[in-house]
Amino acid sequence: MVVIRCAILADADEIVDLVRALAIYEKEPLSSVKLTAADVRRDGFGPARRFEVLLAEEGGRALGFALFFPNYSTWEGRAGLFIEDLFVREEARGRGIGRQLVTAIAAIARSRGCPRIDLNVLDWNPTRDFYHRIGAHHMQDARQSWLPYRMRASAIAALADRADAAWFPDLPRL
């Protein structure tokens, strides 16, 4: 069974490995990934934490991850969450793991009072259909190949309602 959990300090090397796998998926050279385990430990777990990571695991093996951090909307007058990376290893795709990761982030967003979740998706990425199905809307910007998406409060709530405690044992509950 796949379990979604918050990353811990000891996961730093695994997080770097997943980011490198993401770079390969995005057709980027591995040399473009500057992230180190020391960076992850400093910025993901130190006193001035800059991001959080959820890991999708099965039998102790990391199948995917989501890295996210707070952003702020002057329009909403509230903090939201920005998903920087969402990735599932090729052999684990098609099993709903990406949905579980986004669902967990939606549950976190709702528990923190975040009215929206933002993310960017490459224009060629076939998962764009998935984001549409869960209520994220493409925000048009023809100047970039990255396509910004946003989930608003109603879509966050609908997705967070699907967060099963068995999948996400250590997430905050309302």
| Domain-embedded: residue 103 | yes
**Per-residue model confidence as pLDDT tens digits over 104-149:** 999 999 999 999 999 988 877 778 877 788 888 777 654 456 678 8
The larger pLDDT score, comparing residue 157 to residue 67, is at: 67
| Domain-embedded: residue 173 | no
| Domain-embedded: residue 167 | no
Range name among 79-83, 118-122, 165-169 with the lowest pLDDT average: 165-169
Identify which of 88, 119, 117 has the alpha carbon closest to the alpha carbon of residue 101: 88
Active site residue 72: no
Is it the case that residue 103 has pLDDT exceeding 90? yes
Give the domain extent around 106: 3-160
What is the number of structural domains in the chain?
1
**pLDDT grade, residue 150 (50/70/90)?**
confident
The predicted pLDDT at position 132 comes to 80
Distance CA 149, CA 116 (A): 10
- pTM greater than the 0.85 cutoff: no
| Domain-embedded: residue 79 | yes
Looking at 26-152, list the stretches that DSSP marks H as alpha helix, in order from N- to C-terminal side: 37-45, 97-111, 128-133
| Active-site entry in 25, 72, 131, 149 | 131
